[in-house]
Amino acid sequence: MPQLFSTRKISSPPLPATLQLIPEQAPHKWIAGKLLTRREIPLLEEELTALVTGGQVQKVLSIEQQRSGYVCRRCGNNKNYLFAAMPHLACQKECVYCRNCIMMGRVLECEPLYLGSPHYPWPAIAEPCAWEGELTDGQTKAADEIVATISKGDSELLVYAVCGAGKTEMLFPGIATALKYGQRVCIATPRTDVVRELAPRLKQAFPLVSIQALYGDSDDKLGDAQLLLSTTHQLYRFAYAFDVMIIDEIDAFPYHNDTSLQFASKRAAKRDAAFVYLTATPRAKEKKRIKRKQLPAVFIAKRFHGYPLPVPRLKLSPFLRKKLVNRSLPKFILQLIRSHQLGGRQLLLFTSTIEYAHLVTEILKPMYPEITSVHAEDPDREEKVRAFRNQAYRILVTTTILERGVTFPSVDVYVLDAGHVVFDEAALVQIAGRAGRSHEDPTGDVFFFHIGKTNAMLDAQEAIIKMNRLGQQS
């Protein structure tokens, strides 16, 4: 089993050897590879009891008390301060529950989790991929490595590819290989917008395959597809389900520093699963594992269309925050926006906070009516992003939710207050990578407006220059 970067010493509960095969036509096949609370199982008590008796579902401890404290068997949390107790009428005592994964529904000590058998006869699909495009030499190199990793099983691979390298297309041969073997595949990512972005592309590429997109408010709720796209949070509800686990944007918040999400993604995969990680900006711990030859990796330095990444220009704006407080923007930024808006490109404008996103939108709206803002708590988030992609808006003001995994054909990119702590090196590289992604429009202007240069800005600029140099040499 791959290490999956986790230093957590707790382990997943072992897969019970007595779990039986779920027949292909069984009405409850959706429970295959699931780890659910009783409230998440829409079955009558006698129906669930029959599945337990038949060995297709097994009860497991939800919260285990060990010598060192409690362990949540759904999310792997073992930090005592993330447990609490509440009076519970059903068990007539103070019942311990886990606060770490409570956003997925409360897990109580007195209530078991239900583990659905992962043994299910997924179909072997002879020709699953309908995509007829051609891979570049760099993409082919990565695709071959992915196929080899999936064919081998019980192994892992990091695909380190620059923004705009075409990582999704590189996956197609590997996914097709797994489906030909009759395997189940999960593509997980920390970002909901990435799931939404990938779902239609995967459905178009694999029209004969059952595919679902699983995230907080998605229409797909069952999660019983052979090819599943999911946020990493949804993996709390799976166990030993997938033969292939692909984690896109592995360095993205919150996955990269959340050991419980890493635990869940490890537990969601079978013991002999193949792991493929994708990123354009690996963190130090991945780089260290690569250097120590603990993590096989393939590096793609060139974008799919062969043009370099736009190098961000750093623009000092010492009165930027003062101007925002006074509900205005510096004059030279307004002039720059005006000149860009005379052309055909749209503008993707990043702010550090939701409040700034609203404020900047209000400032610019009298001059540019075709403007809107979007952030993680926006109920119209999906619709606004789609409308911007369809060019219903000229300017989209956004927080970092759109820093990665989304593609707009022809945009310039601004970052206001680029020295803010939310804009680390990885975020700035990813943001710059939103520009110039189209073969028809492979360039774009990227500006970081700041009140003083930070190491993150300088490191991001240097990293892009270095990748462009490597891309020219490849």
Q: pLDDT tens digit string along 353-367?
A: 999 999 999 999 999
Residue 7 has a pLDDT of 36
User: Any idea of the CA torsion for 223, 228, 232, 237, to the nearest 10 degrees?
Assistant: 30
pLDDT band at 313 (very low <50, low <70, confident <90, very high): very high
pLDDT(316) > 80: yes
Q: Would you say residue 54 has pLDDT above 70?
A: yes
Q: Residue 65: helix, strand or coil by DSSP?
A: strand
Nearest residue to 120 (alpha-carbon basis) of 36, 32, 50: 32
| pLDDT tens-place string over residues 265-296 | 999 999 999 999 999 999 999 999 999 999 99
What's the pLDDT score for residue 10? Answer: 53
**Does the pLDDT value for residue 440 go beyond 60?**
yes
Q: How far is Cα 209 from Cα 212, in angstroms, rounded to an integer? A: 10
Where residue 217 falls among pLDDT bands split at 50, 70, 90? confident
Please write the tens of the pLDDT for every residue from 367-377. 999 999 999 99
Confidence of residue 1 (pLDDT cuts 50, 70, 90): very low
| Alpha carbons 350 and 406: distance in angstroms, whole number | 14
- pLDDT on residue 11: 59
User: Residue 162's closest CA among 429, 400, 443?
Assistant: 429
Q: Report residue 77: phi and psi, to 5°.
A: -60, 130
* 59-68, 142-151, 246-255 — most confident range: 142-151
pLDDT, one tens digit per residue, over 183-204 is 999 999 999 989 999 999 999 9
pLDDT digits (tens, 9 = 90+) for 382-397: 999 999 999 999 999 9
At 118-174, the pLDDT tens digits run 999 999 999 999 999 999 999 999 999 999 999 999 999 999 999 999 999 999 999
- 218 vs 189, higher pLDDT: 189
> What's the pLDDT band for 222 if we cut at 50, 70, 90?
confident
Measured distance CA(226)–CA(418) in Å, rounded: 41
pLDDT at 2: 39
Task: State the residue for tokens 């005006």.
Answer: 338
Output the pLDDT for position 220. Answer: 80
Confidence at residue 6, expressed as pLDDT on a 0 to 100 scale: 38
CA distance 175 to 165: 18
Sign, CA dihedral 89-92-98-99, equals positive
pLDDT of the residue at 8: 42
CA distance 370 to 355: 19
**What does residue 141 show for φ and ψ, rounded to 5 degrees?**
-60, -45
What CA–CA distance (Å, rounded) separates 129 from 207? Answer: 8
pLDDT value at position 219? 83
Burial class (CB in 10 A: 0-12, 13-18, 19+), 150: buried
Q: Which residue has the higher pLDDT, 129 or 217?
A: 129
Span 313-331, average pLDDT: 95
CA angle (28, 199, 178) in 5-degree steps:
65
Q: Which two tokens stand for residue 409?
A: 């054909």
